């Protein structure tokens, strides 16, 4: 089920901070205090994933200027994250990425956010089994200052996400909050938005 309009699930897990420091990461340090773009990717040392992580890094100043923290998660270990972060880009690494990269080794964070590429079940022998891929889909979540998920989308493994559109989502939410106007299809910052019958949305959100 979608998490949009619901409280973002909290979690604690090891992470690499600033590209060089291992930390016990607690998402409660962010929830309710700042806006967050939380994104999941399948695996370290792959092909599409580094293009996405660098795409977020290349726009990190833009996100932070809008008051948004960027956090990445995959089901690899913190040790694998560390090795990947210490590998140069021209050798398939992500050296230079500075936002937190969380290690969801237990796969519980991916499960909470509905992005794990498979599921656990009990087979005919009443034994716990798993079907699918035990890694994360390419999930992206925008979480507001109250800790509410305001946007999510999930891509299958081969389909890289559009990071520029994630910035557009942030702009659209900020525009709505500031002006009470809703944003039509393909809206971009600086363009006209819409009032009319949708004005009641702001009042609804203020009560929920």
Task: For 120-183, give the DSSP string.
Answer: EEE-TTS-EEEEEEEEE-EEEEEE-TTSBEEEEEEE-TT----HHHHHHHHHHHHHHHHH--B-
Please, is 100 exposed, middle or buried when counting C-beta atoms within 10 Å of its C-beta (0-12, 13-18, 19+)? Answer: buried
Distance CA 179, CA 160 (A): 32
Could you tell me if residue 121 is left (phi over 0), alpha (psi between -120 and 50 degrees) or otherwise beta? beta
49 is catalytic: yes
- Rounded to whole angstroms, how far apart are CA atoms 113 and 136? 10
Set 49, 53, 71, 172: catalytic member: 49
Alpha-carbon distance values, 124 to 85, 113, 117, 119, 129 (Å): 42, 28, 22, 16, 10
The rounded distance, in Å, linking the Cα atoms of 11 and 28 is: 7
Residues annotated as catalytic are 49
């Amino acid at each position: 089920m979608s998490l949009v309009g619901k409280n973002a699930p909290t979690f604690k897990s090891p992470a690499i901070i600033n590209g060089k420091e291992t930390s016990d990461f607690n998402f409660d340090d962010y929830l309710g205090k700042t806006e967050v773009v939380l994104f999941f990717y399948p695996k370290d040392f792959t092909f599409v994933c580094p293009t996405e992580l660098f795409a977020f890094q290349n726009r990190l100043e833009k996100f932070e200027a809008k008051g948004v923290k960027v956090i990445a998660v995959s089901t690899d270990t913190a040790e694998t994250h560390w090795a990947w972060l210490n590998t140069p880009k021209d050798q398939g690494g992500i050296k230079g990425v500075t936002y937190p990269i969380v290690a969801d080794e237990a796969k519980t964070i991916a499960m909470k956010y509905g992005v794990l590429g498979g599921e656990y079940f009990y087979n005919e022998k009443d034994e716990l089994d798993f079907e699918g891929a035990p890694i994360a889909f390419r999930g992206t979540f925008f979480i507001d200052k109250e800790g509410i998920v305001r946007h999510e989308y999930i891509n299958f493994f081969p389909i890289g996400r559009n990071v520029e559109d994630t910035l557009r989502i942030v702009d659209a939410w900020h525009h709505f909050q500031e002006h009470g106007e809703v944003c039509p299809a393909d809206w971009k910052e600086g363009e006209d938005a819409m009032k009319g019958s949708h004005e009641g949305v702001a009042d609804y959100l203020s009560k929920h």
